[in-house]
Structure 1
């Protein structure tokens, strides 16, 4: 079986689906791996490293896409989908509803396509969990962006000019990205507090040295798989009022709240931004799915009443070396799960395969 790794073509995407060390492991497992020349260059993985690991560099994307299974980070473009060999397979990270044209083209080519964004939250799938690994990168980098943007130190400093107080950081949402943001801000010396509608995460927040802000929710706020669920209108109104008071004291707010398959919930209104201190910074990690801050704009920095609101997109790509390492380990675990004796084994009795398969036998299964 031949595994193909094309160079990512999406704007500003610097990650690669397989790193040389992981490619080497797949080769030792009996698979043939071809990598388009330059595919790992932006992530600091050269063609020579792939060759030394046993992979074969190829000159064109068409050669990589002509493989039995194609591994990508971003979803394929329509043009890339047309390069896939009929009856082949593809694994990438995407939401089918946002890629309807490419998904239709994959189905037309009878490509068996899998999206790792659809992995079920079960123990067996943990080694394949790209959403968690890439969220780790995003949470870490969000704090660094805030540290650069703010006009103050993170730690308390005792200097000849007197004592400087530490930055106060508020993290909204204590999933993987939020917990990593808490840990990173604490390492930099900030005083950190966090809020999440799921009371179950309190212990995790406090174990990282942050204060957990509690609010009486009065309803079930956790859905299957441990994700937060959408609150009732009345509870959400109370939540907005509660958070409007909390952000007043924060120097930096990092928002990470998401609801799978839905628009990100608004947690910071324009009025709440108006109540914040001049010089405060908001980093909205949910901006790509609508944003937690009402004023956030994807890919743009917005200034309102002296408050700077950052809307970074695709943060994992800004740390491509380690983001690619984690992604490659995740996707190789998935690959070894769905193949046996050098062949793709489609078994819809298997929950992992059933939930992640987007197209099969010319039909769209997830849209």
Structure 2
């Protein structure tokens, strides 16, 4: 099959969907791989690295005109115009963007959104949300360390003692757990909060203290368990009690990292303006939910601002700031997904709708939108 890998055109996007490592494996399976010139440059993968493994270097039209197009972000209108009807597309296509998916269906594409893969053991190797969130959690701590004008670890010197930084992490999914692990390695004192009781043991195993808010009703406990690996909206009664506990910790914190996202919904507000006002001058908030409106209403997407003496970081694509490793992990996710729909040296896709992963990721086919 002819596989095309175009240069990402979304603002600030530096990742690439195929690395020289995965291009070599696709070539070994008998496929023709065409990479748009410069597609991997920002991810430390120059054209020469691709040609060395047998990939062909082409222009945008050559990559987008392939039978199977592999991308990081959903194609824009100009890119869709260069894709041929009946072609297949694999990437992070945002399953909740109905307009975007409709455009893909209208272009007569067979499109797979990798974010829609079920969070099961079998799908772990192709879980793009986890692979990219892992990097985002790490980078969030690095950014916080850069913006914070003090040190993370406690230091005892001849000139006096420097206290360890106090960090509060709100939302303990993949990104939150990586943030805890990274901050711990840097010597910070960490507290973390999440609506799911099951993460308490994970938090404590990484050396952080869990901010415990007891459940008072069966409804609260059921909501806290989540569904399919995702958090669910909590009852207001529990949220009110959590807010009180979190507010106390935020006021004493030097750094707050928020990671709470609910698929298809605006990000929940975890840090109010009043909480920001209570923080010490020079404190830092890194809001990983900035693309979905932010966990703090003062966050400005794509910007770093100072409000009430607190630095708020609203970066919307943290994995793109670590493009080489982000691309490496993402490309392996893509390669593992392709094993479900590509046969060795086959000229056409094998779409098995009995496969729960393939069915979940398939957004449109033959001009028909398959997601409401």
TM-score range, shorter chain: over 0.9
Match of 1:335 among 325, 338, 346: 338
Q: Pick which of 346-355 and 71-80 moved more.
A: 346-355
Question: TM-score, normalised to structure 1's length?
Answer: 0.97
Q: Secondary structure at 1:355's aligned position in 2?
A: helix
Cα contact 2:96–2:264 (8 A) shared by 1:
no
Are residue 216 (structure 1) and residue 221 (structure 2) matched?
no
Question: TM-score, normalised to structure 2's length?
Answer: 0.95
Match of 2:185 among 175, 184, 187: 187
Partner of residue 55, structure 1 = 55
Q: Secondary structure at 2:285's aligned position in 1?
A: strand
Cα contact 2:93–2:101 (8 A) shared by 1:
no
Map Cα deviations across residues 185-224 of structure 1 (whole Å, 9 max, x no partner): 0111111111111110111111111111111133121222
Alpha-carbon offset, residue 151 of structure 1: 1.3
Map Cα deviations across residues 233-264 of structure 1 (whole Å, 9 max, x no partner): 22222222221111011100000011122111
How many angstroms apart in 2 are the aligned matches of 1:173 and 1:55?
41
Are residue 246 (structure 1) and residue 246 (structure 2) matched?
no
Q: Secondary structure at 2:228's aligned position in 1?
A: helix
Q: Secondary structure at 1:302's aligned position in 2?
A: strand
Cα contact 2:213–2:241 (8 A) shared by 1:
no
Map Cα deviations across residues 23-50 of structure 1 (whole Å, 9 max, x no partner): 1011112211110111101111011110
Q: Secondary structure at 2:122's aligned position in 1?
A: helix
How many angstroms apart in 2 are the aligned matches of 1:210 and 1:105?
45
How many angstroms apart in 1 are the aligned matches of 2:96 and 2:227?
21
Partner of residue 348, structure 1 = 353
How many angstroms apart in 1 are the aligned matches of 2:193 and 2:235?
18
Q: Pick which of 324-333 and 227-236 moved more.
A: 227-236
Q: Which runs of 5+ in 1 are unaligned?
A: none
Cα contact 2:153–2:188 (8 A) shared by 1:
yes
How many angstroms apart in 1 are the aligned matches of 2:151 and 2:93?
37
Matches within 5 A, 1:157-236: 157-218=155-216, 219=220, 220=222, 221-236=224-239
Cα contact 1:82–1:106 (8 A) shared by 2:
no
Q: Secondary structure at 2:225's aligned position in 1?
A: coil
Are residue 7 (structure 1) and residue 10 (structure 2) matched?
no
Cα contact 1:146–1:281 (8 A) shared by 2:
yes
Q: Pick which of 231-240 and 145-154 moved more.
A: 231-240
How many angstroms apart in 1 are the aligned matches of 2:349 and 2:232?
35
Partner of residue 307, structure 2 = 304
Alpha-carbon offset, residue 99 of structure 1: 5.9
Q: Secondary structure at 2:69's aligned position in 1?
A: strand
Are residue 64 (structure 1) and residue 67 (structure 2) matched?
no
Provide the alpha-carbon RMSD of the alignment.
1.2
Q: Secondary structure at 2:112's aligned position in 1?
A: strand
Alpha-carbon offset, residue 294 of structure 1: 2.1
Q: Secondary structure at 2:103's aligned position in 1?
A: helix
Q: Secondary structure at 2:332's aligned position in 1?
A: helix
Cα contact 2:270–2:296 (8 A) shared by 1:
yes
Partner of residue 72, structure 2 = 73
